[in-house]
């Protein structure tokens, strides 16, 4: 992959047009270089994790014949994870994984532990039992300082965007760039402008988050996540409370980021068609358990009555 064109990878329907196609000419060189560095770092990070021991059979996934390679180490994984709040069991013996550069969708109705799973992966909550791998390492027992290092590699896009309300959109996106401290201010401003153009909210630098729609806030949150040059992004219900067009655009953006930047992704959603668009694999949570883990094709073919009911109800929702 060329440093002059970090998006010269697959140009198929999954990849879409290059991420930098809509970036203004005046900031394109800085943005192209920034994205090239991210893509190369993510590829190297994935290769490093893949050198680790295989996973599947040790994670309660003995029948996971769909694993791409028995020697590939997962970038993110749950192994027999349990989590309760008092007497309420949220997760019970849940196992799944996502390999470097792949996308996992976590499916299920409201209240089944989808968002809790993301919070455990980010270290905001601790699992009661089981092994949690993030960036290829077991995060159990890590200090908060050590978790901050993990979060430099893995970031999260929250439902509400979690933007800083008191500063502008541009300052929000610039925050992780300044925090890293190795870019000149003019470079920061160029990258901020380019990232906002890339995610479809061009010219919004001086707006406050309160001025934006829900969908625009999510786009800005993705731009801010990209500014941190993560290897993995966790998306919590990215299409909830947005119009169908914005949901379609967000789905396209998430897919292009995966293909062109080699990002590892986990997407929490209740929308099966959104999952089919994005996922290499899905895990379906029901009553605290992983009822299914596999490809969307295998999910569609399942005779499990709970899965069949979920799919039937999903079909009643108007398509995007």
Q: What span, in angstroms and rounded, lies between the C-alpha atoms of 320 and 306?
A: 24
Q: Which residue has the higher pLDDT, 21 or 96?
A: 96
Using 50, 70 and 90 to split pLDDT, how confident is the model at 65?
A: very low
pLDDT at 69: 47
Give the pLDDT mean for 237-260.
86
Using 50, 70 and 90 to split pLDDT, how confident is the model at 290?
A: very high
Lowest mean pLDDT among 30-44, 49-63, 70-84, 181-195: 49-63
Tokens of 145: 């300082």
pLDDT at 179: 86
Any domain includes 251: yes
Lowest mean pLDDT among 94-103, 117-126, 208-217: 208-217
End-to-end CA distance of the chain: 34
Q: What span, in angstroms and rounded, lies between the C-alpha atoms of 13 and 304?
A: 32
Lowest mean pLDDT among 15-24, 107-116, 229-238, 283-292: 15-24
Residue 297 CA neighbour count, 13 Å, CB half: 2
pTM, whole model, 2 decimals? 0.86
pLDDT at 246: 83
Any domain includes 59: no
Any domain includes 43: yes
φ, ψ of residue 89 to 5 degrees: the values are: -85, 120
Tokens of 29: 């060189």
Give the pLDDT mean for 148-152.
91
Lowest mean pLDDT among 15-19, 63-67, 125-129, 151-155: 63-67
pLDDT at 17: 76
pLDDT at 68: 46
| CA 253 remoteness from chain centre | 11
pLDDT at 58: 44
State whether the Cα torsion 287-288-293-295 is positive or negative.
positive
Q: What span, in angstroms and rounded, lies between the C-alpha atoms of 1 and 36?
A: 8
| 63 pLDDT higher than 50 | no
Contact status, residue 103 vs residue 77, Cβ threshold 8 Å = no
Average pLDDT over the chain, rounded to an integer: 84
Using 50, 70 and 90 to split pLDDT, how confident is the model at 141?
A: confident
Tokens of 112: 């089944």
Contact status, residue 229 vs residue 260, Cβ threshold 8 Å = no
User: Residue 108: which CATH number?
Assistant: 3.40.50.300
Any domain includes 274: yes
Any domain includes 111: yes
| 11 pLDDT higher than 60 | no
pLDDT at 18: 80
Q: Which residue has the higher pLDDT, 225 or 136?
A: 225
Tokens of 6: 């970090």
SS (H, E, C) the chain: CCCCCCCCCCCCCCCCCCHHHHCCCCCHHHHHHHHHHHHHHHHHHHHHHHCCCCCHHHHCCCCCCCCCCCCCCCCEEEEEEEEEECCEEEEEEEEEEECCCCEEEEECCCCCCHHHHHHHHCCCCCCCEEEEEECCEECCCCCHHHHHHHHCCEEEECCCCCCCCCCCHHHHHHHHHHHHCCCCHHHHHHHHHHHHHHCCCCCCCCCCHHHCCHHHHHHHHHHHHHHCCCCEEEEECCCCCCCHHHHHHHHHHHHHHHHHHCCEEEEECCCHHHHHHHCCEEEEEECCEEEEEECHHHHHHCCCHHHHHHHHHHHCCCCC
φ, ψ of residue 133 to 5 degrees: the values are: -105, 130
Question: Of 116, 82, 111, 117, which is closest to residue 98 (Cα–Cα)?
Answer: 117
Contact status, residue 3 vs residue 36, Cβ threshold 8 Å = yes
Contact status, residue 280 vs residue 264, Cβ threshold 8 Å = no
Give the pLDDT mean for 225-254.
88
| 221 pLDDT higher than 70 | yes
Percent with pLDDT over 90 in the chain = 51
Using 50, 70 and 90 to split pLDDT, how confident is the model at 317?
A: low
Any domain includes 173: yes
Using 50, 70 and 90 to split pLDDT, how confident is the model at 3?
A: very low
pLDDT at 129: 95
| 70 pLDDT higher than 70 | no
Q: Which domain holds residue 222?
A: 20-54+100-122+141-315
Number of domains in the chain: 1
Give the pLDDT mean for 188-197.
93
Any domain includes 311: yes
pLDDT at 244: 83
pLDDT at 239: 84
Any domain includes 134: no
């Amino acid at each position: 992959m060329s440093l002059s064109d970090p998006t010269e990878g697959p140009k198929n329907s999954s990849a879409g047009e290059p991420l930098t196609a809509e970036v203004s000419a005046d900031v394109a060189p800085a943005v192209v270089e920034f994205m090239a560095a991210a893509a190369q770092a993510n590829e190297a990070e994935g290769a490093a994790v893949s050198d680790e021991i295989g996973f599947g059979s040790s994670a309660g996934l003995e029948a996971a014949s769909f694993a791409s390679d028995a020697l590939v180490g997962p970038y993110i994984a749950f192994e027999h994870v349990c989590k309760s709040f008092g007497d309420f069991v949220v997760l019970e013996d849940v196992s799944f994984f996502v390999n470097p550069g792949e996308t996992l969708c976590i499916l299920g109705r409201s209240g089944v532990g989808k968002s809790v799973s993301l919070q455990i992966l980010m270290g905001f909550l601790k699992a009661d039992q089981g092994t949690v791998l993030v960036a290829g390492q077991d995060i159990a027992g890590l200090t908060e300082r050590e978790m901050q290092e993990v979060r430099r590699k893995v970031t999260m896009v929250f439902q509400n965007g979690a933007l800083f309300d008191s500063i502008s959109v541009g300052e929000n996106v610039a925050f992780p760039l300044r925090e890293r401290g190795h870019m000149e201010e003019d470079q920061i401003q160029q990258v901020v402008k380019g990232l906002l153009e890339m995610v479809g909210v061009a010219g919004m630098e001086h707006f406050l988050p309160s001025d934006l729609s829900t969908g625009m806030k999510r786009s800005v949150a993705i731009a801010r996540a990209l500014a941190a040059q993560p290897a993995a992004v966790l998306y919590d219900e990215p299409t909830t409370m947005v119009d169908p067009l914005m949901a379609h655009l967000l789905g396209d953006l998430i897919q292009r980021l995966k293909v062109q930047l080699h990002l590892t992704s986990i997407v929490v959603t209740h929308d099966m068609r959104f999952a089919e668009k994005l996922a290499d694999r899905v895990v379906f949570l029901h009553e605290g358990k992983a009822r299914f883990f596999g490809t969307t094709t295998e999910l569609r073919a399942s005779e499990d009555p709970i899965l069949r009911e979920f799919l039937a109800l999903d079909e009643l929702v108007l398509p995007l």
